[in-house]
């Protein structure tokens, strides 16, 4: 059947835009101006809007973002995304080389591939028949979040490869320094807080529920590892990078060396040169290049034996302590912080550094007006390294900790055996504010859209005094707040309502009980199943619960014997919050226990995420590759090479109807 003029033009535009994206974002050799590119994209979007049935699922128009989602699904990584051991000195690298040689039987030559360690967000990308089908965050290395739609907006990520191959790759999404500077100027112009550094900006962009926001942030991507490639015979890591570059990816820059001493010289060279790049690197990654050697070396539980990350030394800068202030945390701890003469350190401007506690200040003898040396611990947290006492002129003043809480005026105390000074007034406004900020945070009740500034506004306006007041808020009250529109108010109220069902473990953590973190809260919820049952347990009984120590037990006992805490719990219960923990779901007696599935092709009745969830709920597991240990290959339309491999190995292939019957059983 002959194609219509509209279909022909859409195909021409798609091919042209893909070519220009490759030239601009991958080859760094653009042939047209930004305006000409925008006109092509605009025409494509207009034609697709007029003829939605002609829009391709991997059209370049997807890069502008789609409809917002309510949440991210989970993705199980078929190949675990391992972390790397770290090296901090030439001696660490020589020790790595010695271990490697010993484990390989002291071969005559080992070639090392050295790459930049991009400071961004690790992502895993999956392609079927050359088309991008799924992207996920690293997560814990085994399970990440599905951020496919946001990754489609990254223009250096090819939506269609140059060959129809099945593969999985690992890369790093990042934000260039120029893009970061533009983003922060925009944030400040709109009265919003600037991002701390490009890494935080990149991670935050890819975790936006609205992919249009991610599209506006202009992220980039380097690919540095082939996790799985079907039907391609490669002998070295650098060969795999060259192959991926040929497929259309921007691959991590690399160089090979025949000795560890040459590697060490390279690390010293780039310790100085790294700041000249338009993106942040926090080190170099050293890998054994030969893939057979990698296989022989194998892996530890969390890291490979054939690779190591060399971390650059923390950059140190001199500045001055202009003042020392204190802040009151949610547990009443009064934490000092140094107000600094602003100085650029490791890629961002630093104007404040934590001083931890009274003992830290005394140990380093830090005074107001001192000249000091600071660095960023882990290239993230500003920290005082030492005081330049030789520069003192006599104007320096020792800091005296307050005897009264700066928020409520009550006396401060320091308990025996603790380093922190504390305010013990449960009604302290600063503690209440920090407590509510913790209550709504992601690991706790996870109320999206209720950030620090909004909590502060709500408290200052008298609308909330404790967490239970959040559940009494009305739209008319929210609309009176700064920068709060009708849609934002509706979304916030919806998020507050949804948080009621989080369950006991999340609520326990959200309450901010001293010494009770998210793990302890989960242990307690699994053991007692309801807040009422937990309240009836004494300290002796609690210490018999695995992982619950005496301090935790005493803290819980004290919390549940405080009348103000009981009053808040009562109000939360009245507002409809779930104070129980759901029993673990047992489906069909784990009917797929021990069975391994591989998914291929396009499924109709389920998304891949839904199919995986159904399998895993019933005790099965999903793998990304077919082997003799695979029990079933679930095949949809247009299956890939996994289907052929299953036929070759005699693995049972099932369709969606057979799969549905298994699930029903």
Instruction: Name the one residue in this structure whose structure tokens are 């590119």.
Output: 37
Q: Of residues 11, 62, 102, 117, which has the active-site annotation? A: 117
Pairing of strands 596-600, 632-635: parallel
Distance, in Å, from the CA atom of 218 to the CA atom of 202, rounded to the nearest integer, reads: 9
Distance, in Å, from the CA atom of 446 to the CA atom of 502, rounded to the nearest integer, reads: 9
φ and ψ at residue 524, rounded to 5 degrees: -65, -40
The C-alpha torsion from 165 through 166 and 171 to 177, rounded to 10°, is 50
DSSP letter (8 states) at residue 23: I
Region of 118 (left: φ > 0; alpha: ψ -120 to 50; beta: rest) is beta
Do residues 89 and 625 touch, judged by C-beta distance below 8 A?
Answer: no
Cα–Cα–Cα angle for 537, 446, 476, rounded to 5 degrees: 115
φ and ψ at residue 515, rounded to 5 degrees: 75, 0
Instruction: Name the one residue in this structure whose structure tokens are 């399970």.
Output: 143
CA distance to 305, 362, 534, per residue, from 541 (Å): 44, 41, 10
Query: Any alpha helices (H) in 227-282, and if so which ranges?
Result: 237-247, 260-273
Q: Name the packing angle between helices 34-50 and 5-21 (round to 10°).
A: 150
Contacts 24+ apart (CB under 8 A), 611-619: 611/659, 612/75, 612/76, 613/74, 614/663, 616/76, 617/585, 617/587, 618/587, 618/588, 618/590, 618/591, 618/592, 618/593, 618/663, 619/590, 619/591, 619/592, 619/593, 619/594, 619/595
For 482, what's the count of Cα atoms within 13 Å in the CB-facing half-sphere?
Answer: 11
Distance, in Å, from the CA atom of 228 to the CA atom of 170, rounded to the nearest integer, reads: 10
Catalytic, 117? Answer: yes
- 3-state SS, 128-190, equals ECCEEEEEEECCCCCEEEECHHHHCCCCCCCCECCCCCCEEEEEEEECCHHHHHHHHHHHHHC
φ and ψ at residue 120, rounded to 5 degrees: -145, -140
Helix (H) or strand (E) holding 222: strand 220-229
Distance, in Å, from the CA atom of 360 to the CA atom of 72, rounded to the nearest integer, reads: 41
The C-alpha torsion from 588 through 593 and 598 to 603, rounded to 10°, is 0
Do residues 492 and 450 touch, judged by C-beta distance below 8 A?
Answer: yes
Contacts 24+ apart (CB under 8 A), 493-501: 495/447, 495/448, 495/449, 495/450, 496/447, 496/450, 496/470, 496/471, 499/440, 499/445, 499/446, 499/447, 499/577, 500/471, 500/575, 500/576, 500/577, 500/578, 501/578
φ and ψ at residue 372, rounded to 5 degrees: -135, 165
Handedness of CA 560, 565, 567, 571 (dihedral sign): negative
| Residue numbers annotated as active site | 117
């Amino acid at each position: 059947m002959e194609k219509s003029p509209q279909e022909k033009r859409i195909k021409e535009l798609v091919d042209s835009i893909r070519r220009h994206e490759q030239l601009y974002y991958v080859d760094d050799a653009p042939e047209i101006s930004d305006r000409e590119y925008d006109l092509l994209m605009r025409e494509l979007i207009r034609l697709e809007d007029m003829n939605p049935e002609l829009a391709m699922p991997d059209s370049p128009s997807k890069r502008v973002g789609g409809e917002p989602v309510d949440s991210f699904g989970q993705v199980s990584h078929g190949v675990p995304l391992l972390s790397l051991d770290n090296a901090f000195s030439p001696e660490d690298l020589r020790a790595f080389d010695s271990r490697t040689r010993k484990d390989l039987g002291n071969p005559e030559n080992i070639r090392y591939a050295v790459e930049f360690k991009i400071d961004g967000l690790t992502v895993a990308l999956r392609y079927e028949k050359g088309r991008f089908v799924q992207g996920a965050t690293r997560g814990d290395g085994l399970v990440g979040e599905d951020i496919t739609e946001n990754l489609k907006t990254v223009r250096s990520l090819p939506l269609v490869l140059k060959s129809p191959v099945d593969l999985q790759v690992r890369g790093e999404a990042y934000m260039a320094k120029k893009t970061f500077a533009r983003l922060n100027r925009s944030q400040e112009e709109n009265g919003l807080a600037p991002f701390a550094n490009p890494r935080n900006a990149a991670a935050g962009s890819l975790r936006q529920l609205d992919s249009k926001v991610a599209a506006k942030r202009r992220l980039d991507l380097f690919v540095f590892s082939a996790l799985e490639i079907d039907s391609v015979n490669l002998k070295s890591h650098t060969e795999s990078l060259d192959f991926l570059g040929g497929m259309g990816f921007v691959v991590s820059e690399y160089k090979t060396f025949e000795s560890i001493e040459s590697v060490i010289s390279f690390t010293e060279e780039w310790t100085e040169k790294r700041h000249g790049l338009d993106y942040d690197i926090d080190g170099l990654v050293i890998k054994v290049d030969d893939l057979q050697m990698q296989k022989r070396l194998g892996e530890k539980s969390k890291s490979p034996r054939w690779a190591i990350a060399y971390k650059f030394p923390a950059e140190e800068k001199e500045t001055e302590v202009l003042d020392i202030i204190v802040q009151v945390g949610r547990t009443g701890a009064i934490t000092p912080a140094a107000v600094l003469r602003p100085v650029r350190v490791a890629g961002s401007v630093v104007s404040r550094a934590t001083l931890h506690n009274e003992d830290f200040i005394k140990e380093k003898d830090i005074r107001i007006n001192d000249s000091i040396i600071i660095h960023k611990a882990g290239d993230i947290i500003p920290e005082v390294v030492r005081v330049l006492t030789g520069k003192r002129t006599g104007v320096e003043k020792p800091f005296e900790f307050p005897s009264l809480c700066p928020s409520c005026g009550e006396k401060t105390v320091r308990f025996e055996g603790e380093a922190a000074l504390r305010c013990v007034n449960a009604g302290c406004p600063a503690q209440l504010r920090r407590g509510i900020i913790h209550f709504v945070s992601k690991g706790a009740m996870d109320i999206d859209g209720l950030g620090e500034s909004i909590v502060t506004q709500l408290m200052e306006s008298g609308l909330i005094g404790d967490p239970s007041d959040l559940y009494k808020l009305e739209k008319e009250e929210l609309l009176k707040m700064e920068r709060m529109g009708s849609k934002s108010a509706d979304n916030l109220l919806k998020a507050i309502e949804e948080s009621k069902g989080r369950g006991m473990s999340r609520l326990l953590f959200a309450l901010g009980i001293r010494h009770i973190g998210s793990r302890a809260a989960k242990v307690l919820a699994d053991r007692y199943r309801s807040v009422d049952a937990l309240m009836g347990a004494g300290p002796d009984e609690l210490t018999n619960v695995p992982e619950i120590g005496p301090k935790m037990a005493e803290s819980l006992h004290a919390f549940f014997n405080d009348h103000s805490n009981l009053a808040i719990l009562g109000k939360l219960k009245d507002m409809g919050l779930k104070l129980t923990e759901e029993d673990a779901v047992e489906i069909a007696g784990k009917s797929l226990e021990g069975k391994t599935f591989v998914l291929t092709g396009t499924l109709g009745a389920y998304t891949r995420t839904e199919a995986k969830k159904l399998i895993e709920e019933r005790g099965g597991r999903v793998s990304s590759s077919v082997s003799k240990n695979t029990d079933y290959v679930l095949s949809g339309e247009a299956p890939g090479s996994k289907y052929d491999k299953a036929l070759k190995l005699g693995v049972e292939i099932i369709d969606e109807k057979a799969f549905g019957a298994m699930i029903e059983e």
